[in-house]
Structure formats: structure tokens, C-alpha cells
Structure 1
Amino acid sequence: MLDVQNLNKSFGGVQATRDVSLNFPAGSLTAIIGPNGAGKTTFFNLISGHIRPDSGRILFEGRDLVGLSSLEVVRRGMARAFQVASLFPSLTVREAMTAAVTSHQRRSAGLFSRFPLSGSRDRVQELLELLGLSAKADVLSANLSHGDQKLLDIGLALAMEPKVLLLDEPTAGMGPDERWRMIDKVHRLWQAKQLTMIFIEHDMDIVFKISQTVHVLKYGAVLAQGTPEEIRRNQDVIDAYLGTDHHMALAAEEA
């Protein structure tokens, strides 16, 4: 589905991405982790077309995305929800979703029509139900809770009908209970839509619980990749990112 080959990017004298090669099979659920400054967000910016790599290839269904605009990348089937939700604050949830769905259907003339086509209405309702936002459909986007704003941002990305969905720290800024409610919805979404989903996350309990594969970045390079169990026991990853507390917890499990 998505095959990243030998990706490099520098900003001035700082090499943010170093010869990164990663593969994301169709229908997979993959976590990208690493310490601050590891290059995780830069990697997302590169593969989504927001910035252009200095070298390397980004093959999506066999076609290279390098050089395409972020809009064209979306049209090819890759959408992204951001760490800070990007919403229509003056619109209700339903209006915002209708705008996104209608835009995707290239009916710009009727973007804010009071009476959208029935197909658009059905699609909006489907997404609201999938995200658990039906009861808040008439609430202004700006008045939603932080967690619901993040869900709406995911919904706006889903309106593009992506094959690959990128989630940049979907639980950032949430308390423990809200984090788990969010990640449960994300996991159900992945199961329901059979998407290829890639997410950046700092909460290791979440990463190890739901991901199929984990890729670890450090200083812009791939430090390790494997199953959650392989990563949580990888000494290089423990030393670079997970820390001594994690090491002690593993030792206690094995005692």
C-alpha cells in the first residue's frame, strides 16, 4: 500500500530525516514512536506532501508521491488528522461535516447549501454515527470538548474517503479516561473501515495495546521496527526512549 524508500530531509544544517525506509501494508495499524525531535512529524509532513524530501521515494499503490501537492496526495487517497484539530469553528458539527463531504464530491457550488444532496446527507450521517457524534450534530464545532474536536477532525479527514489515514497524536492533551475512549473509537474505526492507519503516539500503553507494528525513530533515522512485544523488549529502544522504569517493569514481569 505505502512503501517509503530511503527518505532524506534536511533543514539548514540539521538532517531531520535520515535514509528512512518503512513499509505499511494495506489494512495495517502502525504506530510511529520516538523521543522529541526524532522526526515523527517531519515524516508525516513528507509523506502527506506538506514538505518535499531532498531524496527518496514515497510509493503509494506503486506510484511515487514525491513532488505532488498535499491536495493531490489527498486526492490519491491519503488523509491526515492533525495534533491540533483544524476545524470550522463557526459551523455546527453537521455543517462542518457536510462542507467536507460536499467538497470531496467536487460540488463546490453547493458547498454551504442549506439543502445538500441526499447522498451527502447520508454520508454525513454515516460518519457522525461512526464517530459517536450524532447527538452533538447541532453543536458549534468551537463548543465541543477537546476530545470531540479531535474526533471531528478525524471525521473531516474521513470525508475524503482515504485509503491511508494519518493520525498525529490523536490523544494529545487528554486525561487518562478520555485518552482510552478516544483510542477505542480509533481502533473501532480502523476495524470498521479497513483502513491503512498510521499514528504518532507518546502513550506507550496505547501503542502496545492496539498497534500491529511499531516503527521507532531516533534523530530522524529508523532505530527499530517490529511487533509491540518485540519493541517493548528491544534494549536499544529501552535505552533511547522507554527508559529504566520500563526496563524494571519488564524485569518484574520475568521474575
Structure 2
Amino acid sequence: MLRVENLSKSFGGVRATRDVSIDFPAGSLTAIIGPNGAGKTTFFNLISGHIRPDEGRVLFDGEDLVGLSSLEVVRRGMARAFQVASLFPSLTVREALAAAVTAHRRRSWQVLTRFPLAGAVRRADEIMDLLGLSQRAEVVSANLSHGDQKLLDIGFALAMEPKVLLLDEPTAGMGPEERWRMIGKVHRLWEVTGMTMIFIEHDMDIVFKIAQTIHVLKYGAVLAQGTPDEIRRNRDVIDAYLGVDHRLSETVGEA
């Protein structure tokens, strides 16, 4: 499905991404973690076409995406929900999603909100149902809670009909209860759709709970990769990121 080979990017004298190679099998749920400055968001920017790597390839269904614009990458089937939600603030949730669906199907970012394509409202309703937003259908987007705004941003990504969905810190800025509600909806979305999902997340309890595979970045390079149990017990990861206390708390819980 998605394979990244030897991806590297420098900004001036700073190597933000260094020779990163990762496979993302079809239908997988993968976490990208690492300390601040590890290169996680740069990695997302590279694979989604927002910036161009200095070296390496981004193979999506066998096609190298390097050199394509972010819009062209979306049209190939990779969509991204951002850390800061992007909204149509004056539209209701249903109107905003129908507008996003219409824009995608017309292959244009010029959204004619008053004249959605046939089927766009129906698709908007399907997306709201997937994300648990149906009861918010007539709420103006700007009046949504922070968590629901994040869900709407994911909805905009789903309107692009992706095969691969990138989630940049989907629980950022949320309290504990709201974080778990959000990640529960993300996990259900993955289970229902079967799409390939890749997410950046700082909350390690969430990462260890839902990720099938974890890739740890440090100074732009892959420090480790494996299952949650393998990562939790990896000495390099403990020293660089998790800390001994986290490992000990897990050990106590298993005793």
C-alpha cells in the first residue's frame, strides 16, 4: 500500500528527516511517536506532498508520489487531518461536509456550498454517522466543542475518499476523558472502514492501547519499530523517550 524508502530532508544545516524507510501495509493502524523535534510532522509533510524530500521515495500503490502536489497526493488516495482543525465556520456540520464532498468530486477547491452535487448530502450523512456527529448535523461549525471540531476535520479528510488517512495528533488539547472518547471513535473508524491509518500521538497510553505497529523517530531517524509490547520494552526507546517509570508501571500492572 504505502512504502517510504530512504526519505531525507534538511532545512539549512538541520537534518529534519534522515534516511527513513517504513512500510505501511494495507489496512494497518500505525503510530509515529518520538520526542519533540524528532521529525514526526516533517515526515507527514513529506509523504503528503506538502514539502519535497531531498532524497528518497514515497511509493503509494507502486507509484512514486515525490514531486506531486499535496492536491495530487489527495487525488491518489491519501488524506490528512491536521493538528489544528480547519473549518467552514459559518456552515453547519452537514453543509460543511457536503461542501467538502462536492469540492472533491468536482476536483476543485472552489466550493459552491449552495449547490452541492447529487449524493453529496447523503455522503455527508454517512461521514457524520461514522464519526458520531449525526446529532450535531445542524450545529454551526464554529460553535462545536474542541473535540467535535477535530472530528469534523477528520470528516473533511474522509470526504476525500482516502485509502490512507493521516492523523496529526488527533487528541491534542483535550482532557483525559475527551481524549479517550476521541481515540475510541478513531479506532471504530478504522475497524469499520478497513482503511490504512497512520497517526502521530504523544499520549503513550493511547498509542499502546490501539496501535498495531509503532515507529519511533529520534532526530529525524527511525530509532525503533515493532509491536506495542516490543516498543515498551525496548531499552533505546525507554532511554530516549518513554522513561523507566512507564516501563515499571506496565510491569507492575502485569504482575
Q: TM-score range by the shorter chain?
A: over 0.9
Query: How do 1:6-155 and structure 2 match up within 5 A?
Result: 6-106=6-106, 111-114=111-114, 116-155=116-155
Shift, 1:114, TM fit: 3.6
**Given residue 98 of structure 1, which amino acid in structure 2 is its aligned partner?**
A
Structure 2: state its 5+ residue gaps.
Answer: none
> Are the structure 2 counterparts of residues 233 and 121 from structure 1 closer, same or farther at C-alpha, using a change threshold of 3 Å?
same
Structure 1 residue 206 displacement after superposition: 0.5
Over the residues paired in the alignment, what is the CA RMSD in angstroms?
A: 1.6
What secondary structure is seen at the aligned counterpart in 1 of 2:189? helix
Matching residue's letter, 1:187: H
Identical-residue share of aligned pairs (%): 80
Q: Deviations over 1:8-67 (max 9, x none)?
A: 000000000000000000000000000000000000000000000000000000000000
Contact 1:110 1:116 survives alignment (8 Å): no
Mapped contact 1:232–1:238 kept (Cα < 8 A): yes
Are 1:214 and 1:227, in contact at CA under 8 Å, matched by a contact in 2? Answer: yes
TM-score, normalised relative to structure 2: 0.96
SS of residue in 2 equivalent to 1:49: coil
Query: Matched residues in 2 for 1:150 and 1:250: separation?
Result: 30
What are the ranges of 5 or more consecutive residues in structure 1 without an aligned counterpart? none
The alpha carbon displacement at 1:138 in A equals 1.2
User: In 2 relative to 1, CA 125–54 (structure 1 residues): closer, same or farther, beyond 3 Å?
Assistant: same
TM-score, normalization: structure 1? 0.96
**1:238 maps to what in 2?**
238
Contact 2:141/2:149 (<8 A) preserved: yes
Distance 1:3 1:107, change over 3 A: closer
**3-state SS of the aligned residue for 1:43?**
helix
SS in 2 for 1:217: strand
